[in-house]
Every structure is written in structure tokens, then in C-alpha cells.
């Protein structure tokens, strides 16, 4: 890859004419032709459209009117609507769906003349943590192609790690930006719920879903966030809080800053190597002048159960629209309305999606609503209160992003309960609607990346980005095995 790997590096190189937008775009498509058959990061490529966007971007740069993301090649998770380009959600149900409109985030990026490389693979409808439930391709980890890239935004994270794009958009419901970023050795940001418009994001669980960037650095993620955040009247949950003008304080001294380490995130179920690397990162922060505060979140033990009850209930409701009539997959063999709906849904949805729909309908059914769903919602408030208590004393929270590093598909893919438990480090943040950023803090004995999450107050993205940036400046990342021997600056 070119010496210009990060978004910020590319911005400077493009503006100084060290490289043209077309040359940069050609380099990424060349990488895709060489590597993506092994990785499987993309479902759909937009090569012709990308070169048109590249030429339009170059004109803006040449006229001195470039915006922060003008000419930057990016990828988009395939549950974000793109006008005229199929958007599948990794599902047979939407295999031929071509949206008639762009999502709000696409309007903003394309409005700046960023260059869209293509649509990335994902777990079907965002339901999974491995990117192995896609109906089209199973994405592999660039650090070890025998392991998963995480999910559900695994295609986006793998594309960034393998240098198949400069940055990518993912969506995070219970950890789907942060966990694949950790597994693939890149940086992923889940913004505060409501800070980025969900207009055009195909819904999984509407009170959790949030679009976020995946890139090589925290600085890149912050730059992208400032371009895509902001109020949108088309999204009823969109916040009027303006983050676009609030830049992180890069190079900010950490002296006096208080960082919390909840004991529950470092206990049973957390791999020893993961624990040691995150603790080592925390000690580095202490050397930088930060104060480490041990604290407790007792309700964390119930977080996974609460998350899967609430999110599955919302998924069952959101996915009820796919009935073989309005749009989506329609069976070719049905003799009645009931048979049409049943067969269309049975053929269109994969096993994991069906599992979540069944769980959600069960939780919402008569006689079980109070027993399960209502209790899960009460626990959601308790988790929010525990975070509020921590943030009354601390500036940010440090935790592992995932209890393990990337695993082989055959180790968990047929054990859904074990897969769900692996979300223990990410779902509490999603339940509370807080911002969190995952960055690499080390590598295990097999050379697989280990992720550390930095969690902030609502709309505290500038703080957590600056904290992550301070660590990244002291950390030397390793190139994925796929790229070793290639010319990189990483």
C-alpha cells in the first residue's frame, strides 16, 4: 500500500498533490483484486462509480474547495442504504434490494465527495459476532485467515485492516463496531446513541443501533465522526447536541484525569492474556499522569441476558415487515397467503435471525412480557445508573473490548449461548447508550490483536478519542500476516 495509510495522512497527501484521488482509488482496487478473494470483505464493489467520484473529488481539490473527506476512499457496511446500489444486510431476504435513496451518513460523505469503494460483508441483519452468518460469503481475519474477523461489521474491519479502503462505516448494536475492530487490529468507535442519524440504516434493534467509523487511528475516527454526526429530523431518536464543532484535544496531558477499571470486566471469563494487556495499557496511562480508580458494576452479570431479551424483542418487531409481499424475498411456491408468508420468511432468513425472532416473540408474548421484557428494561435503567455513578467520579472507563482474541469458526459457531456470552464487555455500553472506542493494546501468543475499550459519558467522544490517541502514540502496531512483506507504514 502507499505510504499514505491513515485518513489524515491521505488528506495531507491529496491536498499537497503528492498523490491524486484516482491514483489512490486505483491502489485500493488493486489491493482488492490481490487480497479480497482470501479475505471476503466485500459483497458489492462500486468501481465505476468510485472513479467518477474520484474525478469529481479531484476537481474540488484542484479548486481549493476540498472538505475533510474529499477524495478519501471508504467502504460501507451492507445494512446502510445506498441509492442505486444493492443493500443486502448479508441476507437472502434482501439479496436483490436496491434502495431508492441514500442513508443520511451516505448523503454527508458523498456530499463531501468521498469515494465509495463498495459495500462490506456482515452477519445477517447484524445478528452475530463472527461475520460467518452472511448468506453470501464468510469473511476471514487478515491476521490469520483461519480465524474470524469478529462481527457483525467484520467486513468493514477486515477491509480496513487489509488496506482495502482507508476507512469504513459499520453499525454497532451490541458491539458490532468495537469487537471486529479489536479482532482485526484497527480502531472502531461507537458514538453516543442518537448522535449519528439512523435514517437509511436497516433496523435490527432500534433503541441500540448506531452507525460508527472504523479506521486505523482514533484521530481518523474522530475526523469521520465530526462529518457524519448531527441532528436529522428524519430520525426520531436523533439528538440536537452538536458534536461537529468539538474537536478532541490531541496531545492533551492526562495528568489529573481519572480512569475507572470496573472489576467485573477483568474477572471470570476474561482470557488471561487479554486481562494482562489491558492492565498494562492502564499502567501506561498511569505513567502519563492519569489516576486509576477501581470500581464495581454489580449488574454487569445480567447485562447479556437483558441485552438479548430487549434487542431480540425489537428485532422480532422490526423484521415482521419482511413477509414476501411488500419487498424482500418472495417464495416461488405458495398456495395461500399464510403459506406465502411462512415460506418466504423460512427461505429468506438464516438460522441466527430465526433464533432471535423466536426469542423476541417469546419475550413479548402474553404471560411472559412482565416476566422477561419488563425486567430487562428495569435492569437497563440500573446499568445506566451504575455508569452515572462511575462518571460522577471518573472521566472514562477502561475495559477489554472482548474476553478473547479472534477465534476459529469451528470453536463457537454452533454454540449460540457461548457466542452471546462473548458480548459481555460490549453490551453494557450499548444498553446505556454511551460512546466507546476500541483500540489495539497488544497481541496474544499467536500474534492476534487484543482490543481495549475506552468508554465515555454521553457525548464524551472528544475525551475518549483524545485518551485513545495518547495511547496509540506510544503503541507500535503490527501488520497483519496478509500484509507482511508488503510496503506499509504500519
Kindly report the backbone phi and psi dihedral angles of residue 56, in degrees, each rounded to the nearest multiple of 5, phi listed first.
-65, -40
How far apart CA 70 and CA 297 sit, in angstroms, is 43
- Is residue 433 within 8 A of residue 195, CB to CB? The reply is no
- Is residue 74 within 8 A of residue 117, CB to CB? The reply is yes
Give every CB contact of residue 315 below 8 A, 6+ residues apart in sequence.
125, 127, 204, 205, 353, 356, 357, 360
Instruction: Please indicate whether residue 176 is annotated as part of the active site.
Output: yes
For the sheet containing 291-295, what is the strand order? 42-45, 115-120, 73-77, 167-172, 210-215, 187-190, 436-443, 449-455, 396-400, 258-262, 291-295
Local structure of residue 267 (DSSP, 8 states): S
From residue 223, alpha-carbon distances to 40, 78, 153, 353 in Å are 27, 22, 20, 34
Instruction: Please indicate whether residue 476 is annotated as part of the active site.
Output: no
Q: Which of 123, 154, 216, 164 is nearest to 36 (CA)?
A: 164
Per-residue buried b or exposed e for 211-240, using 16+ beta carbons within 10 Å of the residue's own CB: bbbbbbbbbbbbbbbbbbbbebeebeebbe
Which of 5, 77, 119, 190 is the catalytic position? 77
Instruction: Please indicate whether residue 92 is annotated as part of the active site.
Output: no
- Is residue 370 within 8 A of residue 319, CB to CB? The reply is no
3-state SS, residue 85: strand
How far apart CA 141 and CA 311 sit, in angstroms, is 27
3-state SS, residue 75: strand
Give every CB contact of residue 79 below 8 A, 6+ residues apart in sequence.
87, 89, 90, 122, 125, 126, 171, 201, 202, 204
Which of 2, 134, 152, 344 is the catalytic position? 152
Beta-bridge partners for 45:
118
Give the rounded distance of the alpha carbon of 96 from its chain centre.
24
- Is residue 208 within 8 A of residue 430, CB to CB? The reply is yes
Which of 20, 134, 176, 239 is the catalytic position? 176
How far apart CA 439 and CA 429 sit, in angstroms, is 16
Q: Which residue numbers are catalytic?
A: 77, 152, 176
Amino acid at each position: 500500500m502507499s505510504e499514505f495509510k491513515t485518513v489524515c495522512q491521505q488528506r495531507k497527501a491529496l491536498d499537497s498533490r503528492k498523490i491524486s484521488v484516482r491514483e489512490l482509488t486505483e491502489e485500493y482496487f488493486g489491493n482488492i483484486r490481490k487480497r479480497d478473494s482470501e479475505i471476503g470483505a466485500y459483497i458489492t464493489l462500486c468501481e465505476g462509480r468510485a472513479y467518477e467520484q474520484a474525478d469529481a473529488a479531484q476537481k474540488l481539490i484542484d479548486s481549493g474547495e476540498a472538505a475533510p473527506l474529499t477524495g478519501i476512499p471508504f467502504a460501507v457496511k451492507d445494512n446502510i442504504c445506498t441509492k442505486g446500489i444493492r443493500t443486502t444486510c448479508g441476507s437472502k431476504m434482501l439479496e436483490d434490494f436496491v434502495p431508492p435513496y441514500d442513508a443520511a451518513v451516505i448523503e454527508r460523505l458523498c456530499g463531501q465527495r468521498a469515494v465509495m469503494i463498495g459495500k462490506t460483508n456482515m452477519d445477517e441483519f447484524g445478528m452475530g459476532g463472527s461475520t460467518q452468518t452472511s448468506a453470501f460469503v464468510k469473511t476471514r481475519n487478515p491476521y490469520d485467515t483461519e480465524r474470524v474477523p469478529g462481527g457483525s461489521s467484520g467486513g468493514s474491519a477486515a477491509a480496513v485492516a487489509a488496506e482495502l479502503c482507508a476507512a469504513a462505516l459499520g453499525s454497532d448494536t451490541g458491539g458490532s463496531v468495537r469487537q471486529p475492530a479489536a479482532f482485526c487490529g484497527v480502531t472502531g468507535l461507537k458514538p453516543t446513541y442518537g448522535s449519528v442519524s439512523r435514517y437509511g440504516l436497516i433496523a435490527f434493534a432500534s433503541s441500540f443501533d448506531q452507525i460508527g467509523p472504523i479506521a486505523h487511528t482514533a484521530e481518523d475516527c474522530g475526523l469521520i465522526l465530526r462529518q457524519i454526526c448531527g441532528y436529522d429530523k428524519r430520525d426520531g431518536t436523533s439528538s440536537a447536541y452538536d458534536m461537529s464543532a468539538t474537536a478532541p484535544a490531541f496531545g492533551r496531558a492526562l495528568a489529573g484525569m481519572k480512569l475507572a477499571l470496573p472489576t467485573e470486566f477483568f474477572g471470570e471469563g476474561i482470557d488471561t492474556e487479554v486481562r494482562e494487556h489491558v492492565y498494562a495499557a492502564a499502567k501506561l496511562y498511569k505513567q502519563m499522569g492519569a489516576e486509576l480508580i477501581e470500581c464495581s458494576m454489580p449488574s454487569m452479570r445480567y447485562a447479556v441476558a437483558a441485552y438479548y431479551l430487549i434487542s431480540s424483542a425489537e428485532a422480532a418487531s422490526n423484521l415482521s415487515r419482511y413477509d414476501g409481499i411488500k419487498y424482500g424475498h418472495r417464495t416461488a411456491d405458495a398456495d395461500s397467503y399464510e403459506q406465502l408468508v411462512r415460506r418466504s420468511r423460512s427461505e429468506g432468513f438464516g438460522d441466527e435471525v430465526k433464533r432471535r425472532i423466536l426469542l423476541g416473540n417469546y419475550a413479548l408474548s402474553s404471560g411472559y412480557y412482565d416476566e422477561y421484557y419488563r425486567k430487562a428494561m428495569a435492569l437497563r435503567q440500573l446499568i445506566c445508573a451504575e455508569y452515572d455513578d462511575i462518571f460522577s467520579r471518573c472521566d472514562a472507563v477502561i475495559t477489554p473490548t472482548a474476553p478473547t482474541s479472534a477465534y476459529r469458526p469451528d470453536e463457537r459457531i454452533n454454540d449460540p449461548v457461548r457466542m452471546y456470552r462473548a458480548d459481555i464487555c460490549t453490551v453494557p455500553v450499548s444498553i446505556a447508550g454511551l460512546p466507546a472506542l476500541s483500540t489495539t493494546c497488544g497481541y496474544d501468543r499467536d500474534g492476534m490483536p487484543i482490543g481495549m475499550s475506552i468508554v465515555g459519558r454521553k457525548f464524551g467522544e472528544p475525551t475518549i478519542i483524545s485518551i485513545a490517541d495518547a495511547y496509540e502514540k506510544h503503541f507500535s502496531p503490527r501488520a497483519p500476516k496478509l500484509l507482511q512483506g508488503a510496503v506499509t507504514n504500519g
